[in-house]
């Protein structure tokens, strides 16, 4: 079960602001944390509703558990969601997760000083779970430095800062334990996995490297496991800021098929000698895939001349294709290769 880490109900380079000398074999993070913590805020919302939390919609097709700190209905104007965020500039713009402020009638941001400000939504990323809030900039606002996730390495030390369980700013340390994780939220899934503790209320908080740069936005955890958290790479934050300026408008490609990965067992059931590829489970009628002649049972092994090892590979290739362009797909049908040209469509709203 993948859980969004919000709380409804309540380069490893050593720089001047990076890690200090080690103490007893561990990195000294005191000065780094003092520098970074003021840029992190708590985000809460109010809804004009008496619905229970369980009735609130979610943003994805996974089973997402919410974390209420109370049982029963919500009173009018009661704050019913708490998450985290961080200042990305000195003009009052704050990055958080879109699911933290979903359905909000009012949004509030609490600063490190304890002062609470009204906020409104300035932009929402079109394909990942990120939103940009705007507040009247407080004096001497501390903003983060947004890095790139391209150079993040497994084993790199990272800091997660946020508002777990509504307790206030909490800092945890760990390492990057995986990259490029696909969780099924959308075609752009490319999560950084970390064992730095991420808990309900951390959603929207920053994941820092040891140079004090944001390399990710903490978003989800696996509720049945410990030490497995996921962050949206900071590259998407740069896209979010472009969206604020009206400069980012990405149309995702779409085929209209449901596919499954092909492991050894699946390969044998299909009469194949090797695994790999994406097998078509269903072709929706009147879709680009249907019109191009794709059928249930076809094994997609290449798309745009790129090898397809899994459904994730296919999803990312198709998503990057602009609607209206022709995608060349290589399939195996009854162990015979065929090439099909698919005019990629736009994801239905």
The C-alpha atoms of residue 190 and residue 70 are separated, in whole angstroms, by 33
Look at residue 81 in the predicted model and tell me its pLDDT: 60
Q: What is the pLDDT of residue 154?
A: 92
Higher-pLDDT residue of 8, 299: 299
Burial 20-38 (b: 16+ CB within 10 A, else e): eeeeeeebebeebeebbeb
pLDDT surpassing 80 at residue 273: no
Inform me whether the pLDDT recorded for 323 exceeds 50. Answer: yes
CA separation for the pair 198, 206 (Å, rounded): 11
What phi and psi, each to the nearest 5 degrees, are found at residue 166?
70, 15
Contact 135, 109 (CB under 8 A): yes
Question: Can you tell me whether residue 268 is helix, strand or coil?
Answer: helix
* 330 contact partners, CB below 8 Å, separation of at least 6: 300, 301, 302, 303, 337, 338, 339
Average pLDDT, the chain: 78
The residue with tokens 């359905």 is 103
Mean pLDDT across the stretch 278-304? 91
Closest CA to 33 of 216, 150, 162: 162
Q: Give bridge partners of residue 233 from the DSSP assignment.
A: 216
224 C-beta neighbours (distance < 10 Å), count: 9
Q: Check residue 73 and give its pLDDT.
A: 32
| pLDDT tens sequence across 121-141 | 998 887 789 999 999 998 888
pLDDT at 150: 83
DSSP, collapsed to helix, strand or coil, labels residue 89 as: coil
CA 310 to chain CA mean position, Å: 20
Confidence at residue 26, expressed as pLDDT on a 0 to 100 scale: 59
Positions marked active-site = 99, 129, 203
The reported pLDDT for the residue numbered 318 is 87
Higher-confidence residue of 208 and 58: namely 208
Beta-bridge partner residues of 44: 82, 108
**What average pLDDT does this structure show over 15-24?**
47
Q: Which of 20-24, 225-229, 256-260, 325-329 holds the top average pLDDT?
A: 325-329
pLDDT at 346: 81
189 and 85 in contact (C-beta within 8 Å)?
A: no
What is the distance between the alpha carbons of residues 152 and 214, in angstroms, rounded to a whole number?
11
Please give the domain boundaries of the chain with CATH numbers for all domains.
1-250 (2.40.10.120), 253-346 (2.30.42.10)
- Joined together, the tokens standing for residue 89 give 């500039």
pLDDT at 74 over 60: no
Closest CA to 41 of 133, 233, 215, 169: 169
% the chain with pLDDT above 90: 31
Angle at 142 between CA 136 and CA 147, to 5 degrees: 115
| pLDDT over threshold 60, residue 65 | no
Question: DSSP 3-state assignment of 325?
Answer: coil
- What's the burial of 124, exposed, middle or buried (CB within 10 Å: 0-12/13-18/19+)? middle
- The DSSP call for residue 74 is P
Q: What is the pTM for the complete model shown?
A: 0.65
- Please report the DSSP string for 165-217 in residue order: GG---EEEEEEEEEEEE--SS-TT--EEEE-S---TT-TT-EEEETTSEEEEE
């Amino acid at each position: 079960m993948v859980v969004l880490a919000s709380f409804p109900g309540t380069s490893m380079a050593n720089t001047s602001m990076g890690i200090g000398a080690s103490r007893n074999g561990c990195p000294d993070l005191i000065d780094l944390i003092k520098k970074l913590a003021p840029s992190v805020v708590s985000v809460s919302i109010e809804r004009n509703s008496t619905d229970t939390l369980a009735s609130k919609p979610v943003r994805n097709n996974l089973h997402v558990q919410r974390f209420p700190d109370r049982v029963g209905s919500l009173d009018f104007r009661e704050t019913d969601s708490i998450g985290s965020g961080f200042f990305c500039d000195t003009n009052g713009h704050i990055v958080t997760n879109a699911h933290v402020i979903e359905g909000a009638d009012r949004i509030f941001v609490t600063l490190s000083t304890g002062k609470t400000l009204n906020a409104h939504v300035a932009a929402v990323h079109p394909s990942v779970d990120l939103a940009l809030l705007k507040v009247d900039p407080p004096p001497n606002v501390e903003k983060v430095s947004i890095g790139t996730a391209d150079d993040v390495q497994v084993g790199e030390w990272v800091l997660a800062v946020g508002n777990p369980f509504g307790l206030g700013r909490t800092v945890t340390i760990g390492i990057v334990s995986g990259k490029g994780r696909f969780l099924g939220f959308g075609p752009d899934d490319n999560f950084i996995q970390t064992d730095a503790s991420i808990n309900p209320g951390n959603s929207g908080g920053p994941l820092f490297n040891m140079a004090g740069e944001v390399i990710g936005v903490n978003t989800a955890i696996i509720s049945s496991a410990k030490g497995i958290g996921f962050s949206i790479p900071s590259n998407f934050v740069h896209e979010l800021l472009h969206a604020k300026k009206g400069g980012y408008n990405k149309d995702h490609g779409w085929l209209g098929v449901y596919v499954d990965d092909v492991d050894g067992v699946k390969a044998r059931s299909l009469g194949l000698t090797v695994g790999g590829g994406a097998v078509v489970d269903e072709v929706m009628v009147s879709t680009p895939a249907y019109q191009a002649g794709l059928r249930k049972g076809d094994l997609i092994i290449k798309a745009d001349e790129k090898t397809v090892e899994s459904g994730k590979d296919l999803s990312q290739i198709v998503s990057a294709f602009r609607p209206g362009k022709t995608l060349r797909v290589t399939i195996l049908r009854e162990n015979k290769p065929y090439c099909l040209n698919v005019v990629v469509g736009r994801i239905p709203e």
